[in-house]
Homo-oligomer: A and B are copies of this chain.
């Protein structure tokens, strides 16, 4: 259900809100922002539209968004359709060649092109690529998980990023939308976790922000209260002390990787809020949790 604007909202009030965006527009003008796109924002029809609209708007006002998307649920659906069952080890899908085919088809075609088309329907200039295009993401076979005997198959880690294709697209004001499939040994496709790929790209591209769109309000403290700002060290502490757990651990891990790579700020935000991206980028409020690099890398 869309937000209703109060009847009495005058022109002046509308203008005031627009004008409030100025300092943020100024700050992010010409800057790269890496957005990991996933969760409800990618499955709920109206949230998808808000997201696409936000990306188009950010692009027009001079921000350079780069999107990395996941696609877990859609992959499961197709696997089911072809009667292929997946086994999971420590939450990772064991990926044989047939599964990889499905993963790639869903991510690179179905999901990727839907995101691209929706952005383009709002006048954006999105172009979808995978990590195999232009040698963007070189993958290596993921290390075995400690204590697990089973081979995960075509699950990969990021080995090397070659950002040339991103710069090429940006130079003509195209918006890159990246499916997290890498080119492994022999140029074979490897399944890379989307959060991981996003964090690695953010670090390699030295983006100004790394934003994770999730289905939670942000990082919660031990009382279940959202924390609005964390230092790197505090974020590490939360993991060590077991305050955060489950799916939030790898998310914070990707944020920390981005920060260590030189990104000044990472954000875990609630993709269920309409126009979450605009709110985070262009208003005083911000939403969700930010994790801040303590100091310049290497100093």
Contact = CB atoms under 8 A, between A and B. Distances in A.
Contacts of A8: 6
Classify the interface of chain A: helix, strand, loop or mixed: helix
Contacts of A104: 109-110, 113
A297 interface: no
A94 to B, nearest CB: 20
Contacts of A78: 105
A17 B29 contact: no
Interface string A10-23: 11111111110111
Contact of A133 (B121, B122, B126, B287): B126
Given A17-B5, A187-B120, A181 B82 contact: no
Given A17-B14, A18-B17, A183-B117, A25 B109 contact: no
A113 B16 contact: no
Contacts of A2: 16
A2 B13 CA distance: 9
Given A11-B273, A21-B57, A129 B128 contact: yes
B126 A134 contact: yes
A211 to B, nearest CB: 15
Given A22-B123, A108-B113, 9 more contacts: A11-B273, A11-B279, A14-B283, A18-B283, A22-B56, A82-B82, A120-B187, A128-B129, A128-B133
